[in-house]
Amino acid sequence: MRYRKLARTGVEVSTQCLGSMMFGRLGNPDHDECARIINRALDGGINFIDTADIYSRGESEEIVGKAIRERRDEVVLATKFFNPMREDRNARGGSRRWIVQAVEDSLRRLGTDRIDLFQIHRHDWGTDLEETLGALTDLVRQGKVLYLGSSSYPADWIVEAQWAARRRGSERFVCEQPQYSIFARSIEESVLPACERHGMGVIPWSPLAGGWLTGKYRRDQDVPGGSRYSRDGVYGRRGGSLAEDPSTPARYDAVEKLVKIADEAGLSMTELALGFVDAHPAITSTIIGPKTMEQLDGLLAAADVTLGTAALDAIDEVVPPGTDLPGIDHISGNPFRRPENRRR
């Protein structure tokens, strides 16, 4: 395992960050097994864990908190807030009212007196950014939170947040958590340059593109049982399927080409995908999200992979820099794209 500074904070984090979205009823409901996975990750050199209040409605935070209770000081602990946690219309978003409540809820579930990195899960189009930064700054000054971050912010919001913090003397976001993979490269156009210019760390999520970049979904092969596109998987429960997704043919084509690149480099598809993300100079730590111990072991094996120029150039031929494959959703939530708000 390698380590990098988290932006300019002086804190060193592992180049793999253990994501916990799969811990709890929406992934692995066995708390004891999840705890073993977490401790195996720590033993493997990971010192960075990322969770969120919305993951299994707080259950993930509870699992993480119990698992690291005896090892809390070994862990750089990150969580997120923003998404609705109950029916109350104010139990969500980036308002001061919700932030004050959300941090107390997360601290209680995590069983800790501080959150090392507190991130807003999405940008709140309906709340003054300076209100959000002001409330978060108060948490830092109270010692409940050490550092602040954003997730899935577009480049203009990343820059605006930096300027707003300077203008108001607020704590600034030290890192951004965007979607980034071989399939989702549009952040190379402006998000990653903005983060580099402002000295921010970058902690990408979904580096395996929802399992596509493990090679589990192949043309003319059955969908693996338990995967998100299977009958009993995440998208299966929602009624979706690969056959119904118009982006599937382009993804199948890309996977076939990437399998050949991985074979030529002597790597697994997982190693190729994680090595690609880690190769960008803006990246601090890549979020991995295992559901089982077997998956974790495979991901840890990729921790020290470094891709050569030939492999990176070949990947650029499959998905050009700064572009996305069809079907990628960066979850901007931009209200100005709604029909009622367009000028037509």
Tell me the HSE value of 82 on the side-chain side, using a 13 A CA sphere: 22
Closest listed residue to residue 67, CA positions, set 104, 25, 96, 31: 31
**Beta-carbon count within 10 A of 44 CB:** 17
CB contact at 8 A, 194 and 155: yes
CA proximity to 22, closest of 43, 48, 52: 52
Environment class of 294 (CB within 10 Å of its CB; exposed 0-12, middle 13-18, buried 19+): exposed
Catalytic residue positions?
Answer: 55
Alpha helices in the chain (DSSP H): 31-43, 59-67, 96-110, 129-141, 155-168, 191-197, 234-237, 248-265, 269-279, 293-300, 309-318
Give 213's contacts (C-beta < 8 A, 6+ positions apart). 181, 182, 183, 207, 255, 258, 269, 270, 272, 273
